[in-house]
Amino acid sequence: MEHFETSENAPIRLRTIPAGIWALGFVSLLMDVSSEMIHALLPIYLVTAMGASMVTVGMIEGVAEATAAITKVFSGALSDWLGKRKLLAVIGYGLAAVTKLVFPLASTVGWVMAARFVDRIGKGIRDAPRDALVADIAPPHLRGASFGLRQSLDTVGAFVGPLLAIGFMWLTFNQFQIVFWVAILPGVLAVALLLVVVKEPARPAGLREVRAPLSLPELRSLGSSFWLVVCVATVFTLARFSEAFLILRAQAMGLPIVLIPLVLVVMNVIYSLAAYPAGALSDRVNRLTMLIIGFSILIAADLVLARPGNLAGVALGVALWGLHLGFTQGLLATLVADTAPPELRGTAFGIFNLSGGLSLLAASLLAGMLWDNFGPQMTFLAGAGFTALALLGLGLVRWRVPALGRNQKTETEEGTTSSQSETRP
Alpha-carbon distance of 99 to 120, in angstroms, equals: 10
- For residue 11, being part of any structural domain is answered with no
Nearest-5° angle of CA 277, CA 133, CA 407?
A: 45
Q: Where residue 61 falls among pLDDT bands split at 50, 70, 90?
A: low
pLDDT at 419: 33
DSSP structure string for 312-363: HHHHHHHHHHHHHHHHHHHHHHHHHHHHS-GGGHHHHHHHHHHHHHHHHHHH
pLDDT value at 405 more than 80 = no
- For residue 422, being part of any structural domain is answered with no
Half-sphere exposure of 372 (CA within 13 A, CB side): 6
224-239 and 376-400 are packed helices; what angle lies between their axes, rounded to 10 degrees? 160
Domain containing 57 equals 17-199
**Residue 216 and residue 194 share a domain:** no
Alpha-carbon distance of 212 to 230, in angstroms, equals: 21
Alpha-carbon distance of 120 to 131, in angstroms, equals: 17
Alpha-carbon distance of 96 to 336, in angstroms, equals: 26
CB neighbour burial string for 131-149, b if at least 16 within 10 angstroms, e if fewer: bbbbbbbbbebbbbbbbbb
**Quick one: which of 268, 135, 306 has its CA closest to 204?**
135
- For residue 6, being part of any structural domain is answered with no
For the segment 4-19, the average pLDDT, to the nearest whole number, is 60
- For residue 204, being part of any structural domain is answered with no
**Residue 263 and residue 134 share a domain:** no
- Domain end point (choices 173, 199, 225): 199
User: Domain of 124: which CATH number?
Assistant: 1.20.1250.20
pLDDT digits (tens, 9 = 90+) for 63-111: 676 777 788 889 999 999 988 899 999 999 999 999 999 999 988 888 8
- Count each helix (H run) and each strand (E run) in the chain, helices first: 18, 0
**Residue 261 and residue 309 share a domain:** yes
pLDDT digits (tens, 9 = 90+) for 156-213: 998 899 889 888 888 888 888 899 999 999 999 999 999 999 999 888 877 788 888 9
Alpha-carbon distance of 367 to 50, in angstroms, equals: 30
Tell which wins on pLDDT, 361 or 420. Answer: 361
266 phi and psi angles, rounded to 5 deg: -60, -45
Q: Where residue 57 falls among pLDDT bands split at 50, 70, 90?
A: low
- For residue 244, being part of any structural domain is answered with yes
Secondary structure of 16-57 in the HEC alphabet? HCCHHHHHHHHHHHHHHHHHHHHHCCHHHHHHHHCCCCHHHH
Residue 259 gets which letter from DSSP? Answer: G
**Residue 218 and residue 187 share a domain:** no
What is the amino acid identity at position 411?
E
pLDDT digits (tens, 9 = 90+) for 212-260: 898 999 999 998 889 989 999 998 888 887 777 787 788 788 877 667 7
**Residue 314 and residue 171 share a domain:** no
For the whole model, what pTM was predicted?
A: 0.81
- Domain end point (choices 172, 199, 226): 199
What is the CB neighbour count within 10 angstroms for residue 51? 9
**Residue 264 and residue 179 share a domain:** no
**Residue 220 and residue 348 share a domain:** yes
In sign, the C-alpha dihedral spanning 254, 260, 264, 270 is negative
- Domain end point (choices 199, 234, 260): 199
What is the amino acid identity at position 88?
L
| Percent of residues, the chain, with pLDDT higher than 70 | 88
Domain tally, the chain: 2
**Residue 264 and residue 173 share a domain:** no
